[in-house]
Chain A
Amino acid sequence: MAKKRKLTYLLGATAILFMVTVLGASRLNAQIAVGNGKISGEFGFSGMYYIPDSLIGARAVESKFRANTFLSLQYSNGGFTVGARYEFYLYPLIDFEDIGYKGHGLTNYFADYRNSFIQVTAGTFYEQFGNGLTLRMYEDRQLGVDNSLTGARVRITPYKGIYIKGLVGLERNNFDFKLDDRKDYVRGIDAEFSFSDMFPVISEKGFTAIIGGNFVSKYEKAVDKFITIYPHIDTLKQDAQIDLPQNVATWAARAALGYKGFRLEGEFAQKENDPNESNQYIYKKGNALFLSATYSMKGLGVSASFIRADNMDFRSQRAAQTITSLFAINYIPAINRQYSYQLIGNYGYASQPNGQIGAQLQVNYQIPRKTKVGGQYGTDITFNFSRFHDIDKTPVPMTDSLGTASGTDGYKSKFFKFGKNLLYQDIGLELSRRFDKHWKLILAYNFISYNLELLQEHGKMFFGHNVAADLTCKINSKHALRLELQHLYAKEDTKSWVYAMLEYSISPHWFISVGDQYNYGNADKDMRIHYFNVTGAFVTGTTRIGLSFGKTREGILCVGGVCRSVPASYGLGLTVNTTF
């Protein structure tokens, strides 16, 4: 019976794949008109045939071919939109199975109406208040994050420049659709006043001025929760029951001021007592501060930002595990520079909502074109520096005698004092120069300091020097060749790596690449492994079909400071994506 059901699901997925491939091949890349309305959609298929490889730790999987598949459709007519998304992740890629993103069903469905005064949404939706310090419901398909809310939302614009949003809903729990059984929900309201929109005279003079604020509260039914006190004294060791708040509130206030190329913005958020799994059930209030200043003029851009987060992991369910973003209501942004370089990708910084303080500076400068130093097309220089520490923490005295922080205020923290532990530091310099119509070169150097122990729970401090070169040769209007070389020099963790990738593209339909990561510095000679990859893709209109074959190393994948672990894998991959 189970085998028959499995076969049915696979046939279903294959049928959808075939249908969309045929549609893609027939260049169905425009929205479909239905009466006065139109239908649009997106299809994605990402499959892989897994080959076990004990050397790299690629495990054998029972169902050898696995895939993530989804189809979303939207119909819109005037201000009215309805939509739905079906996801088939019953036998997902092993990365997703590892984080519990497994199942199938209608994961998103909504009806939405909007006019110039009001927008109402019923069903599933995404939303963000301010910078997300109190609420950010978002999706990142690559990470397997989908924190959509199912409920209702209202947005109103009562006056030009005044924007008010309110929402209630239950957060998505992967493929568990039993909403009636849930004992938690989220509600929130946000208001923003844009004076530059309200009074055109302000914007006409080059000023922007915005203030905003929001309140977000989650309800979760309290349960009997016991903690162990005096675990270190046998005669006193006992369970104690702690009182749990059923309603936990957060609030935030934000402001942004700008004049021409200069912009200053900040947001402060506070969370009331929220004992939960991530903070070991302490009752301390949480808070977060985000500040940012940017300045730009022709040829020069400077941005500096600061962030501090203290006990700000805020989830719909207090017992949620923190290894994934499941049930996360808010988002503490990572302000460090994000890279696409393969080798330092494994040392991507994961934002620490329960304790981080840090700053970032980035300067972009263009040496003017048609000068001796800048060359005919100019030369772009980017310098960036970011550094993050844990926060200063002085445990409250009770934690010593009780032998646990649970059931207490946990700790005290001086707001602007950096903690002793460096979490992450990046010093980077990048040069980008186009030499002529054919040749372009990007050179980059980064020095990364990464606290493996605190960020990945293994190892010690990692220091890596990464050098990257990206050389593109545009042979003619259709053909281009790109060579990427990277070298990561390190004495810690798996030590030094090199990476090379050659990509050939025939515009606009084809591209093929061959790449290899080689861990030449591994202390264990048997682990000096080549992780090769061959990739090819065909693109037509808004449809892309890709094939890949090769090995993926075990590590982490980070997007915007949110990370998940990636298991080692080896195999043949197929992807199909299309939008219409």
Chain B
Amino acid sequence: MKRNIVFFVILICLFWGCDKIEKPYMHLNDTKVEPLSVAKFDSIAGTFNASGVYRKFLFEEFTGSHCTNCPDGHQTLRDLKTVFGDTMIIVGIHAGSLAEPNYEYPYEFRVSEGLQLYTDFGASYVPFGVLNRTRYNGNSVIIPPTSGKWKSTIQQRDKSAPCAAVQIVNQYDNQRQMLVSNAKVTMLQDYPNPLYIAFYIIEDKIIKPQLNHGVRIPDYEHSHVLRGSMNGVYGKPLNGTGILAKDSVCLMACKISFYEKDWAKENCQIVAFIRDNTTGEILQVEEKDIQN
């Protein structure tokens, strides 16, 4: 009998075949590109000093061009940025009904990645903020803008030592209007869950109309506006599996074309962040201008 069971199990193994497709199931364009070698990366980025690494945080601000209270949120973030400096990295996401273009606000700020995040976070209004995609209230990551909640939440954030360091090297080909962004991740600690890395592109100094307390401001300056992701909304696993041991180094690269896009590359930055794919929390984030 035992022999029969072993035989059956072997047969199952022979016949069993299933490919489990992980999210995201779709991708918008071919972003695959060979990353730089470590030596080449280090020669451009400079010597890495682990002792100088500190944990930065990502603040995603959801907004809309005809959201009358949103400029208050923009001002709050400007104030917070002066307090937290380069520890704070902001991504502005236009979503919700108040971001839909209309006659007075015709510019399309919305991008598919932003709409997906808005939906996935269960949002129904703007403005609101999300800090490192950690839970704020129950299961919700949404932080309302009222009563200084953005500031207090940031002050109470997890300030534990970073598990990884992220360095970015951007290479822009003017002739092909192609950006290749390289990120080097150095693990500073062991981490139990799979880690993903995502590359977002954001842009400052976009002059477009904005509603502000009932008044249409035709030449409002929009900052850190999300233009899209280079490798999916939630990124891709580091090193294929997402599991890396302490002191290991992983290089990832993505490319994106600026052809026929109204993006000003001199105002664009790449935001690369590492995400715990089990909890969804963002563990480390870095930002780099496309053109230094």
Q: Is A508 an interface residue (CB 8 A)?
A: no
Query: Do residues B12 and A189 form an inter-chain contact, with CB atoms below 8 A?
Result: yes
A272: Cβ under 8 A from any B Cβ: yes
Which residue from A191, A236, A272, A401 sits with its C-beta under 8 Å from B20? Answer: A272
Report A-chain residues with C-beta under 8 Å of the C-beta of B122: 397
Note all chain B residues with C-beta closer than 8 A to A230.
112, 115
Contact of A249 among B16, B21, B112 (CB under 8 A): B16
A 161-196 to B, binary, CB cutoff 8 A, 1 in contact else 0:
010101000000000000000000001110100000
- Residue pair B25, A247 in contact (C-beta under 8 Å): no
- State which residues 6-25 of B face A: CB under 8 Å: 7-8, 11-12, 15-21, 25
Instruction: Decide yes or no whether A336 CB sits under 8 A from chain B.
Output: no
Contacts of B108 in A (CB 8 A): 235-236
B262–chain A nearest beta-carbon distance, Å: 12
Most buried by A among B1, B108, B112: B112
Q: How far, in Å, is B242 (CB) from chain A's closest CB?
A: 17
B1 cross-chain contacts in A, Cβ below 8 A: 159
B95, closest chain A residue (CB): A401
- The answer to whether A162 and B26 touch across the interface, beta carbons within 8 angstroms, is no
Q: A229 contacts which chain B residues (CB < 8 A)?
A: 26, 112
Q: In the docked arrangement, what's the CA distance between A227 and B118, Å?
A: 21
* A236–B110 alpha-carbon span in the complex (Å): 8
Across the interface, A189 reaches (CB within 8 A) one of B11, B19, B29, namely: B11
- Cα A236 to Cα B16 in complex, Å, equals 40
Contact between B28 and A240, CB atoms less than 8 A apart: yes
Could you tell me if B27 and A241 are in contact, using CB atoms closer than 8 angstroms? Answer: yes
How many B residues touch the partner, as a band? 20 to 34
Chain A stretch 141-170: residues in CB contact (< 8 A) with chain B: 158-159, 162, 164, 166
User: Known: A164-B8, A227-B26, A229-B112. Contact between A247 and B119, CB under 8 A?
Assistant: no
Q: Which of B16, B25, B116 contacts A242 (CB 8 A)?
A: B25
B4 interface contact, C-beta 8 A: yes
Contact B4 A158 (CB under 8 A): yes
A573 contacts the other chain (Cβ, under 8 Å)?
no
Could you say which of B11, B17, B110, B119 has the most chain A C-beta atoms within 10 Å of its C-beta? B17
| Min CB–CB distance B166 → chain A (angstroms) | 26
> Which residue on chain A has the smallest CB distance to residue B111?
A236
Question: Which of A159, A166, A407 makes the CB contact (< 8 A) with B25?
Answer: A407
- Asked if B17 and A401 sit within 8 Å, CB to CB, the answer is no
Is B101 in the interface zone, CB < 8 Å from A? Answer: yes
A166 touches B116 (CB 8 A): no
A192 to chain B, nearest CB (A): 11
Contact with A along B100-117 (1 / 0, CB 8 A): 010000001011100110
Pick from A188, A236, A240: contact of B26, CB below 8 A. Answer: A240
| Residue B120 at the chain A interface, CB threshold 8 Å | yes
| Neighbouring A residues of B116 by C-beta, 8 Å | 398, 401-402
Task: Return B14 CB to nearest CB of chain A, in Å.
Answer: 8
- A246 and B19 within 8 A (CB): yes
Shortest CB–CB separation between residue A372 and chain B, in angstroms?
A: 59
Does residue A400 face the partner (Cβ distance < 8 Å to B)? yes
Please, how many angstroms separate the alpha-carbon atoms of A141 and B256 in the complex? 55
Number of interface residues, chain A, beta carbon within 8 A: 39
Task: Collect the chain B residues with CB atoms within 8 Å of residue A158's CB.
Answer: 4, 7
Asked whether A217 lies within 8 Å of B27 as measured between CB atoms, the reply is no
One digit per residue, 1 when the CB lies within 8 angstroms of any chain B CB and 0 when it does not, for chain A 219-231 equals 1000000010110
Residue of B nearest to A240 (CB): B26
Contact between A235 and B101, CB atoms less than 8 A apart: yes
Which residues from 101 to 158 on chain B have a C-beta closer than 8 Å to any C-beta of chain A? 101, 108, 110-112, 115-116, 118-120, 122
Residue of B nearest to A243 (CB): B21
Residues of B within 8 A of A243 (CB): 21, 25-27
Q: Are B110 and A215 in contact (CB under 8 A)?
A: no
With a cutoff of 8 Å between Cβ atoms, the chain A residues found around residue B16 in the complex are: 215, 217, 249
Query: A162 to B4, Cβ gap below 8 A?
Result: yes
Q: Is A379 an interface residue (CB 8 A)?
A: no
B26 touches A249 (CB 8 A): no
- Shortest CB-to-CB span from A45 to chain B, Å, is 40
The yes or no answer to A283 lying at the interface (CB within 8 A) is yes
Q: Are B19 and A401 in contact (CB under 8 A)?
A: no
User: Which chain B residues lie closer than 8 Å to A272 at the CB level?
Assistant: 18, 20
How far apart are B96's CB and chain A's nearest CB, in angstroms?
10
* Residue A391 lies at the interface, judged by CB distance under 8 Å to chain B: no
Q: Which of A263-299 contact B (CB under 8 A)?
A: 272-273, 275, 283
User: Which residue of chain A has its CB nearest to the CB of B11?
Assistant: A189
Assembly CA distance A159 to B8 (angstroms): 13
Say yes or no for A408: interface residue by CB 8 A criterion: yes
Q: Are A397 and B119 in contact (CB under 8 A)?
A: yes
Cβ of A248 within 8 Å of any chain B Cβ, yes or no, is yes
Q: Does A245 contact B (CB under 8 A)?
A: yes
A407 nearest CB neighbor, chain B only: B26
Q: How far is the CB of A224 from chain B (nearest CB, A)?
A: 10
Q: How far is the CA of A402 from the CA of B115 in the complex (A)?
A: 8
Alpha-carbon distance A156/B235, docked complex (angstroms): 48
Instruction: State whether the Cβ of A421 lies closer than 8 Å to any Cβ in chain B.
Output: no
A164: chain B residues at CB < 8 Å are 4, 8, 11
Q: Mark A6-27, 1 if CB is under 8 A from B, else 0.
A: 0000000000000000000000
Query: Smallest distance from the beta carbon of B156 to chain A beta carbons, Å?
Result: 28
- Give A166's nearest chain B residue, CB to CB: B11
Q: How distant is the Cα of A247 from the Cα of B4 in the complex, in angstroms?
A: 27
Q: Does A238 contact B (CB under 8 A)?
A: yes
C-alpha gap A402/B117 in the complex (Å): 12
Question: Which residue of A has the minimal Cβ distance to B112?
Answer: A236
| Given A397-B119, A401-B119, CB of A219 within 8 Å of CB of B25 | no
B254 to chain A, nearest CB (A): 15
Contacts of A219 in B (CB 8 A): 17
Do B18 and A247 touch across chains, with their CB atoms under 8 A apart?
Answer: yes
With A230-B112, A238-B28, A398-B116 in contact, do A188 and B15 touch (Cβ < 8 Å)?
yes
CA distance A244 to B18 in the complex (A): 11
* A402 CA to B116 CA, complexed, in Å: 8
Is there an interface contact between A189 and B27, defined as CB atoms closer than 8 Å? no
Cα–Cα, bound, A240→B28 (Å): 5
Q: Answer whether A401 and B118 are a contact pair too, CB < 8 Å, given A217-B17, A245-B21.
A: yes
A245–B17 CA distance with the chains assembled, in angstroms: 10
B25 near A283 with CB under 8 A, answer yes
A84 vs B118: C-alpha distance when bound (angstroms):
61
User: Are A217 and B26 in contact, CB atoms less than 8 angstroms apart?
Assistant: no
Residue of A whose beta carbon sits closest to that of B122: A397
| Chain B residues with CB below 8 A from A283, complex form | 21, 25
Instruction: Assess whether B119 is in contact with A400, with CB atoms less than 8 Å apart.
Output: yes
Task: Give chain B nearest CB distance to A438 CB in angstroms.
Answer: 59
A216 closest partner in B (C-beta): B15
Task: Please judge, given known A-B contacts A166-B11, A401-B118, whether A248 and B18 are in contact too, CB under 8 Å.
Answer: yes
Residues of A within 8 A of B101 (CB): 235
Per-residue CB proximity of B45-88 to A under 8 Å, as 1/0? 00000000000000000000000000000000000000000000
**Interface 1/0 per residue, B222-251 and A, CB below 8 Å:** 000000000000000000000000000000
Residues of B within 8 A of A398 (CB): 116, 119-120
How many whole Å from A44's CB to the nearest CB in chain B? 35
Interface CB pairs A-B, < 8 A, 19: A159-B1, A164-B11, A166-B15, A189-B12, A189-B15, A217-B15, A235-B101, A235-B110, A236-B108, A236-B115, A240-B26, A245-B18, A249-B17, A249-B18, A275-B21, A397-B119, A397-B120, A398-B116, A401-B118
Given A247-B17, A283-B21, list of 9 further CB < 8 A pairs? A189-B11, A189-B12, A189-B15, A227-B26, A235-B108, A272-B18, A272-B20, A402-B112, A407-B26
- Closest 3 interchain pairs by CB? A249-B18, A245-B19, A247-B17
